[in-house]
Amino acid sequence: MKIKQEQDKLVICPLCGGDAMYESEFTTQDGKVKTWLCMTCGFTSNTTMTLDSESLKQTLELTADFIKDLRKDHEPPGGGEMLAWFPTAITMPNKGMIFPEPIKGAGKEEWMWTVVKAIPIPEDEQYKYPDPTNPGTNYKNKMDMKNLKRYEKLCFMDAAEELGMFDRNLVEDAN
Ligand SMILES: [Zn+2]
């Protein structure tokens, strides 16, 4: 649980060497947690993702095999205990989604960022899209799966721009 967010800063990504990795620090009930998201390669981790941690165990249970295969174990920026890193996946119900997707027929390491934008559901069709998290209400937007845009692995920033992540505070949304 987040209690207080300190100032974000940009650091060098230890995975791809890009100079636009967001580092954020939160004070939680269990102490300080740092999170990282690289705007070049799109990989993310945080200080709870140590290799024998409960956080990593839970993440692996919820993660698709293809993404598990992309896992990288690496020290955080500035050094420290080894952490597990994964490509991020972002869902913003009113804007859309970004997620890594394998390239069909290519090798395990061949994948791209896919951006899907949210489009409004016509009012007379909204009843077909019940929102399970808010019983009695319906979704007003849906993901436009017919119009995908794909970006190279090291172009996460372009994918994020396409989604409109920069219209509001990036790090707030990404977390
Ligand atoms: Zn990176």
What average pLDDT score do residues 113-123 get?
96
**Tens of pLDDT, residues 40-75:** 999 999 999 999 999 999 999 999 999 999 999 999
- Contact assessment for residue 15 and residue 74, using Cβ atoms and an 8 Å cutoff: yes
Q: How far is the CA of 42 from the centre of ligand 1 (A)?
A: 6
- The rounded distance, in Å, linking the Cα atoms of 132 and 114 is 25
What average pLDDT score do residues 10-31 get?
93
| Least-confidence region, from 6-10, 78-82, 141-145, 167-171 | 167-171
pLDDT at 35 over 50: yes
pLDDT at 117 over 70: yes
Q: And the tokens for 55?
A: 């956080």
Q: How far is the CA of 107 from the centre of ligand 1 (A)?
A: 21
Cβ atoms < 10 Å from Cβ of 13: 23
Length of the chain: 175
What pLDDT does residue 93 have?
81
Q: How far is the CA of 156 from the centre of ligand 1 (A)?
A: 9
Q: And the tokens for 102?
A: 């394998």
- The rounded distance, in Å, linking the Cα atoms of 103 and 87 is 15
Q: How far is the CA of 93 from the centre of ligand 1 (A)?
A: 25
pLDDT bracket for residue 34 (50, 70, 90): very high
How many CA within 13 A on the CB side of residue 62? 8
Tell me the pTM: 0.85
What pLDDT does residue 4 have?
58
- The DSSP secondary structure of the chain, one letter per residue, reads ---EE---EEE--TTT--S-EEEEEEEETTEEEEEEEETTT-EEEETT-BTT-HHHHHHHHHS-HHHHTT-EEEPPTT--S-EEEEE--EEETTTEEEEEEEPTTS-TT-EEEEEEEEEEPPGGGGGGSB-TTSTT-B-SEEEEEEEEEEE-TT-HHHHHHHHTGGGS-HHHHH-
pLDDT at 166 over 90: no
- The rounded distance, in Å, linking the Cα atoms of 115 and 95 is 10
What pLDDT does residue 109 have?
77
pLDDT at 5 over 50: yes
Q: How far is the CA of 17 from the centre of ligand 1 (A)?
A: 6
**Tens of pLDDT, residues 68-109:** 999 999 999 999 999 999 999 999 888 999 999 998 887 777
- The rounded distance, in Å, linking the Cα atoms of 148 and 127 is 25
